[in-house]
Amino acid sequence: MRKLSLAAALLTASAITTPALADGHLRIVDEPLELTIQMNHARYPVYEESWPVEQAARELTGIHLINDTVGANMRTDENTGRTEALNLMLASGSIPDIVGSSRIRDFVNQFGPEGAFIPLNDLIEEHAPNIAAYYATRPDIEAAVKASDGQMYYIPYLPDGKYGRAFWIRTDWLDALGLEMPETVDEYEAVLRAFRTQDPNGNGLQDEVPFFARQWPELIRLVTLWDGRAHGSDTYHDFMIEDGVIGHGYIGEGYRDGIANLARWYADGLIDAEIFTRGSSARDFLLSENLGGSTHDWFASTSGYNSLSSEIDGFAFEAFLPPASPSGRRIEEHRRILVKPDGWAIGHTNEHLVETIQYMDFWFTEEGRRLANFGVEGQQYEMVDGEPIFTQEFLDSGPVNRNLYQVGSQLQGRGYFQDYNYEIQWSNEFALEGIALYDTMPDLLIEDFLGVAFTAEEQAVYDRTWGSIRDYMLERQQGWILGNGDVMADWDAYIAQLDEMGMQ
Ligand code: CA
């Protein structure tokens, strides 16, 4: 008990005692142990030792993470998949004890077998009973995490739930213009054109932005409206699986046709002129300024913008089913994947491997998982009938996800198992109605690509070719939409170039 008191003395005043602290069953080390961490994510550039969640984890485990992030201003870019910060860290010659990042899988599966990261299979089996118990129920996910040598090199972020993103539209604008909810891509185009030309916000200006997106790859996803494919999982530009065969959306004819149509939409002003540069504030800005008409974004967080009806008369932003393609097919390409390429790994110079894997296992315990999902009891949530329930004060304090990142919860640079109950609690009636609408169409969701374990030879081919192939595809994609070149005329040369680069 003496050591527990010592640990308690290190706490901030805001931290509160939990039942777990009382018996210390989550304690990993008697004396506080410091481990360094690199953590990169688009939404939080470094690991903050002051996060209330970090403080609580210190109290419970005795492990203190010390921020040692290189390249904090070079965040891993979710839009392009580039991992400059991780490369900079590697180039610096010093790898912290723990490395957490979005898009970490390819990185550690390349450099882990070369010795830069610790293989985790035996450590998990011997010292991480909660992680091992999870994998015992999901061998498919364990397989998806493994590198070419059969080893796991990172503990992943495991999302929970079914639907992710949906199509959204200003239904009060539809009403204002006497339009019906679009059911096909042609009707969708007509609606976007009317938003552009018929002044649905009623200010006498042609200032509406018909389609916008916080992440520009969501524009590319619209190729599904012409039977193309964009992202094979909820990782942008990922490979896809179709009829049991691995392929890529960006070499398909549906993609080609979709890009041709999107270029036309862009030229006609149906798409945000700043789609590639406006960034993550696009939704917040364009909706609160009464300018944005339609997007493709997450159910829970997007539904929350309906509170703008208190400022914008009649404001209603509602989910609608993916419009049918010319062949009559409706798909929702985005869904919550079972395992993300995000999470954390152990650097090769770490001298406390057992304690580190035990610490990673802590986040898979009941108490750790609650901390990772809901924040700190008494601050963000209270226990009600045995369930963590966000306080009304917390829910009213602004965007829930943003506020959770700011206390150190829901960090995708940490390996943890999400609990969908965290999101249900702030899904309003617009989200729940949208989910019910999507549920009316059981074939809407399609198969996700979970990843594969390459052989060493395959991994070498991938590491040598994929980065430059991806960059070339993205460069051409953006150029075509902005009107630099014509995708139909350029297509054969594009495919030939990809073949030369090793795409096949
Ligand atoms: Ca207007």
Q: How far is the CA of 65 from the centre of ligand 1 (A)?
A: 51
C-alpha angle 270-485-473 in degrees, rounded to nearest 5: 90
Q: How far is the CA of 84 from the centre of ligand 1 (A)?
A: 41
Q: How far is the CA of 431 from the centre of ligand 1 (A)?
A: 27
Q: How far is the CA of 306 from the centre of ligand 1 (A)?
A: 19
Residue 75: what pLDDT?
63
Q: Is 14 exposed, middle or buried (0-12, 13-18, 19+ CB in 10 A)?
A: exposed
CB 370 within 8 A of CB 388: yes
Residue 337: what pLDDT?
87
Q: How far is the CA of 206 from the centre of ligand 1 (A)?
A: 5
Containing 478, the helix (H) or strand (E) segment is: helix 456-482
Q: How far is the CA of 278 from the centre of ligand 1 (A)?
A: 20
- Tokens 């999302």 correspond to 159
Q: How far is the CA of 290 from the centre of ligand 1 (A)?
A: 9
Angstrom distances, CA of residue 41 to CA of 66, 75, 155, 344, 401: 17, 6, 16, 12, 14
State the pTM of this model.
Answer: 0.80
Q: How far is the CA of 437 from the centre of ligand 1 (A)?
A: 30
Mark 54-92 as b/e (b = at least 16 C-beta within 10 Å).
Answer: bbbbbbbbbbbbebbbbbbebbbebbbbbbebbbebbee
> Shortest CA distance to 287 belongs to which of 203, 209, 171?
209
Q: How far is the CA of 244 from the centre of ligand 1 (A)?
A: 47
Backbone angles phi, psi at 360, to 5 degrees: -65, -35
Spell out, as residue ranges, where the chain has pLDDT lower than 50. 1-20
Q: How far is the CA of 207 from the centre of ligand 1 (A)?
A: 5
Contacts (Cβ under 8 Å, ≥6 apart) of 131: 124, 155, 360, 361, 364
Q: What is the distance between the alpha carbons of residues 42 and 461, in angstroms, rounded to a whole number?
A: 28
Other CB atoms within 10 Å distance of the CB of residue 453:
18
Other CB atoms within 10 Å distance of the CB of residue 481:
23
Report strand pairing: 209-211 vs 292-298: parallel
Phi-psi region of 356 (alpha: psi -120 to 50; beta: other; left: phi over 0): alpha
The first and second tokens of residue 465, run together, are: 């070719």
Q: How far is the CA of 196 from the centre of ligand 1 (A)?
A: 8
Single-letter code of the amino acid located at 184: T
In the chain, where the domains are located: 5-159+337-419, 165-334+448-501
Residue 433: what pLDDT?
95
Q: How far is the CA of 481 from the centre of ligand 1 (A)?
A: 25
Q: Which fold has domain 165-334+448-501?
A: D-Maltodextrin-Binding Protein; domain 2 (3.40.190)
Q: Which fold has domain 5-159+337-419?
A: D-Maltodextrin-Binding Protein; domain 2 (3.40.190)
Residue 330: what pLDDT?
97
Residue 51: what pLDDT?
97
Residue 76: what pLDDT?
63
> Which 8-state DSSP code applies to residue 11?
S
Q: What is the distance between the alpha carbons of residues 29 and 88, in angstroms, rounded to a whole number?
A: 32
> Shortest CA distance to 353 belongs to which of 7, 28, 22?
28
Contacts (Cβ under 8 Å, ≥6 apart) of 286: 209, 212, 272, 292
Q: How far is the CA of 208 from the centre of ligand 1 (A)?
A: 5
